[in-house]
């Protein structure tokens, strides 16, 4: 399991990739749909693994942690569904600003 420092490096790498795209392709900075926001957040959080595979991987390590992972993913999906597109867009923009400020 990655250390917190390794997780931060992975997170920073994903944000760098996302924000490089936005910087180099300004049309990407336009408002995005809920589906697109969900996909971007999933890539940042779960990396190259599908969320369902991530839950199964965690479950394989520990059923107790797997149950928590399943609940966490379910909560993530519910939050995406109930959150307005504008709020999701603001969240992604906020992550972008944080990334730029940390450089």
Using one digit for the tens of pLDDT, what is the confidence trace for 48-94? 889 999 999 999 999 999 999 999 999 999 999 999 998 998 888 88
Domain boundaries in the chain?
Answer: 4-102
* Separation of alpha carbons 19 and 96, rounded Å: 6
Say if residue 27's pLDDT is above 50. no
pLDDT grade for 40, boundaries at 50, 70 and 90 = confident
pTM equals: 0.64
Residue with tokens 């400020």: 101
Q: What average pLDDT is seen over the chain?
A: 80
Residue predicted with more confidence, 6 or 53: 53
């Amino acid at each position: 399991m990655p250390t917190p420092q390794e997780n931060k490096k992975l997170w920073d790498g994903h944000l760098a990739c996302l924000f490089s795209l936005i910087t180099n392709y300004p049309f990407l900075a336009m408002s995005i749909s809920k589906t697109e926001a969900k996909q971007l957040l999933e890539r940042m959080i779960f990396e190259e693994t599908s969320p369902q595979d991530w839950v199964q991987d965690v479950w394989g390590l520990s059923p107790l942690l797997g149950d928590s992972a399943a609940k966490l993913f379910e909560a993530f999906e519910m939050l995406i569904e109930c959150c307005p597109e504008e709020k999701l867009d603001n969240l992604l923009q906020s992550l972008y600003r944080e990334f730029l400020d940390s450089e």
